[in-house]
Structure 1
Amino acid sequence: MTPTFHAIHPLFGAEVQGVDLSRPLPDAVFAAIADAFERRSVLLFRSQAVDDAAQVAFAARFGPLETVRAGAVGGGTHLITLTNVAPDGGILPPTHEQTLHGLANRLWHTDSSFKAIPALASLLSAREVPPEGGETEWAGTRAAFAALPDELRRRIDGLTVRHDFAHSRAKVDPDLAVAATRAAFPPVTRPLVRRNPLTGEAALYLGSHAAAVDGMGVVEGRALLDMLTRHATRPEFVYTHRWRPGDLVLWDNRATLHRGRPFAAGLHRRTIVRATIADPAGRLAVAA
């Protein structure tokens, strides 16, 4: 088993061929994949017949796995199921809380930036996909940072940002930002620019959970975050993935933004399963 890597975007991302993730990988093969992950940020694996156990086993080789929050499908386990399918096999109504949380995934974000321990990586497995729509887009925030003017890079390097789960959910529906949500996930402080510990490359670290810039007024801080998000998600920095059943995508949450695209959720079923790898090295103090 020898992996090969083929670029899927000029600036980041690679398709990995020659591996079978349904069984354990030899150490040398995993090391090659881990190195590509650090350097390419997004890795695509096609036609992988993985079950839940195989997905968890592969993800866990990158680090400790998050436990899914209570109330989500898969709460208390290491896999969250993102689906519009109801327990009885029908399709969930558009007003269902699970559907509304799914809408929040259509905002540019990086997973778990609002948690005390943020996410290192996510591994998404396509189990059932609609015939059209429902793509996922990734933006390479290392390339985006490198493309900023020198003066702006210097100005924002060292700034910190408050990330808040309730802030992002309120963009979809104010009823999702209830007191229990705020109590479970109080705001946390994150650097606006993060560096890869192996390569030293810097990346913008922002997204829908980013609520305010420390030391700036609300209007000024929001204007800066919105401008940087628009810059980071320009077409030249974005890879759009059209899902096929059996696709797995692994991505670096430290160096990308991502979002889901709309599909006819009232007509077509979609079920994808995600494991999230925690990043203890990225932990910063929870904001007061």
Structure 2
Amino acid sequence: MAIRIRPLTPAFGAEISGVDLRDLDESDFAEIRDAFETYSLLLFPAQDLDDDAQISFSGRFGPLEKTYPNIGNNFTAGYVACMTNLDENGELLKEEDPRVQVRIGQRFWHTDSSFKQVPATASLLHARVLPPEGGETEFATMRAAYDSLPEGRQEELDGLIAIHHYAYSRRNMAVDLTDKKTDNALPPVPQALIRQNPANGRKNIYVSGHASHIQDMDHGEGRALLDELMELCTRSEFTYCHSWSVGDLIMYDNRTLMHRARPYEITRHTRILHRTTLAGDGPTV
């Protein structure tokens, strides 16, 4: 296979074409893996994948996370999370359904699984059904944002620890979308504010909508720092907004990218993306 790589932005991201993810030899896979570490986000257009094929490709990168069936509207535990606005009966969610608020919550910048002691390495999203308009996904590179900082500022941030909590981000939606079972399963966890890619040594900021405060820092001061870094990381020169087509698969690096969903008419048009998640290889602190 002749793999072609086209950068999506000057800062990060690449489109990979000339490839069928159901039929990859070791040489092609090695090239894709190297591209992932370089570009942080890979777009594979027009991939005809079912769940088994998505799991198979994802699993070549390493162990996968299992989903939490009680979070959002994943109906069963497994390796594929169904990111959708349909209920268990295949009907569009009603406005009063609390899961609508979960979908709206995905419009806030975040990294997948940063609220776990061992955060996810990467996620792979495959577009199955799309609304007629809206519903894009926007990504932000925290690596390029870190590189833009003066060396002295980088040194000030290195060694700081942020506390990430699933309930914190959900409670910021003005309604409490968690329950005791979820709170017990996902307590607050510490994460390094600056992370380093083990494959290439490059550093990046690591913030998320799940980050509530900075450990051992005045709460207001720490909150202001997190807001400052969030604003930096989401500047236009550090972002890419993807307009989905059915069959697109995007693999994105949760260690160095944030993302958010863009608005669409949740209670009127169906949107289904299937996500697999590459497990992390250890705590950040």
- Shorter-chain TM-score range: over 0.9
The percentage of aligned residue pairs carrying the same residue is 43
Instruction: Find the aligned partners of 1:284 and 1:182 in 2 and give their Cα distance.
Output: 21
Contact 1:68–1:74, Cα closer than 8 Å, also in 2: no
Deviates more, 1:80-89 or 1:7-16: 80-89
2:189 counterpart residue number:
188
Specify the code of the residue in structure 2 equivalent to 1:192.
L
Instruction: Render the CA deviation track for 1:152-177: whole Å, top value 9, x for unaligned.
Output: 21111111111100001111243213
Per the TM alignment, residue 100 of structure 1 is displaced from its structure 2 partner at its CA by 1.9
Normalising by structure 2, what TM-score? 0.96
Specify the code of the residue in structure 1 equivalent to 2:13.
G
2:82 counterpart residue number:
81
Instruction: Find the aligned partners of 2:109 and 2:170 in 1 and give their Cα distance.
Output: 12
Instruction: Render the CA deviation track for 1:178-199: whole Å, top value 9, x for unaligned.
Output: 3222211011111001011111
Instruction: Find the aligned partners of 1:176 and 1:121 in 2 and give their Cα distance.
Output: 25
Per the TM alignment, residue 244 of structure 1 is displaced from its structure 2 partner at its CA by 0.6
Gaps of 5+ in 2: none
Instruction: Find the aligned partners of 1:75 and 1:194 in 2 and give their Cα distance.
Output: 32
Instruction: Find the aligned partners of 2:275 and 2:99 in 1 and give their Cα distance.
Output: 15
Q: How many correspondences in the alignment?
A: 283
Instruction: Find the aligned partners of 2:116 and 2:256 in 1 and give their Cα distance.
Output: 17
1:155 has 2:144 as partner: no
1:252 counterpart residue number:
253
Q: How do 1:117-132 residues align onto structure 2 when only pairs under 5 Å count?
A: 117-132=118-133
Instruction: Find the aligned partners of 1:196 and 1:74 in 2 and give their Cα distance.
Output: 34
Per the TM alignment, residue 74 of structure 1 is displaced from its structure 2 partner at its CA by 4.3
Contact 1:119–1:277, Cα closer than 8 Å, also in 2: yes
Q: How do 1:204-243 residues align onto structure 2 when only pairs under 5 Å count?
A: 204-243=205-244
Contact 1:161–1:189, Cα closer than 8 Å, also in 2: yes
2:167 counterpart residue number:
166
Distance 1:161 1:199, change over 3 A: same
Give the SS at the match of 2:121.
strand
Instruction: Render the CA deviation track for 1:213-252: whole Å, top value 9, x for unaligned.
Output: 0110110100000000001000010000000101000000
Instruction: Find the aligned partners of 1:272 and 1:113 in 2 and give their Cα distance.
Output: 20
Deviates more, 1:69-78 or 1:269-278: 69-78
1:46 has 2:56 as partner: no
1:55 has 2:54 as partner: yes
Normalising by structure 1, what TM-score? 0.95
Per the TM alignment, residue 3 of structure 1 is displaced from its structure 2 partner at its CA by 1.2
Contact 1:24–1:58, Cα closer than 8 Å, also in 2: no
Instruction: Find the aligned partners of 1:265 and 1:2 in 2 and give their Cα distance.
Output: 39
Contact 1:42–1:251, Cα closer than 8 Å, also in 2: yes
Deviates more, 1:84-93 or 1:29-38: 84-93
Specify the code of the residue in structure 2 equivalent to 1:32.
E
Give the SS at the match of 1:175.
coil
1:280 counterpart residue number:
281
Gaps of 5+ in 1: none
**Runs of 4+ in structure 1 displaced over 4 angstroms?**
none
Instruction: Find the aligned partners of 1:203 and 1:75 in 2 and give their Cα distance.
Output: 34
Please provide the CA RMSD for this pair. Answer: 1.3
2:66 counterpart residue number:
67
Instruction: Find the aligned partners of 1:284 and 1:18 in 2 and give their Cα distance.
Output: 36
Instruction: Find the aligned partners of 1:96 and 1:168 in 2 and give their Cα distance.
Output: 18
2:34 counterpart residue number:
35
Give the SS at the match of 1:280.
coil
2:176 counterpart residue number:
175
Contact 2:195–2:284, Cα closer than 8 Å, also in 1: no
Contact 1:138–1:257, Cα closer than 8 Å, also in 2: yes
Contact 2:135–2:263, Cα closer than 8 Å, also in 1: yes
Contact 1:120–1:278, Cα closer than 8 Å, also in 2: yes
Instruction: Find the aligned partners of 1:226 and 1:257 in 2 and give their Cα distance.
Output: 14
Instruction: Render the CA deviation track for 1:98-140: whole Å, top value 9, x for unaligned.
Output: 3222122111001001112210000000000111111100001
1:138 has 2:139 as partner: yes
Per the TM alignment, residue 147 of structure 1 is displaced from its structure 2 partner at its CA by 0.6
Instruction: Find the aligned partners of 1:70 and 1:47 in 2 and give their Cα distance.
Output: 29
Specify the code of the residue in structure 2 equivalent to 1:54.
A
Instruction: Find the aligned partners of 2:175 and 2:222 in 1 and give their Cα distance.
Output: 22
Deviates more, 1:86-95 or 1:252-261: 86-95
Contact 1:55–1:275, Cα closer than 8 Å, also in 2: yes
1:19 counterpart residue number:
19
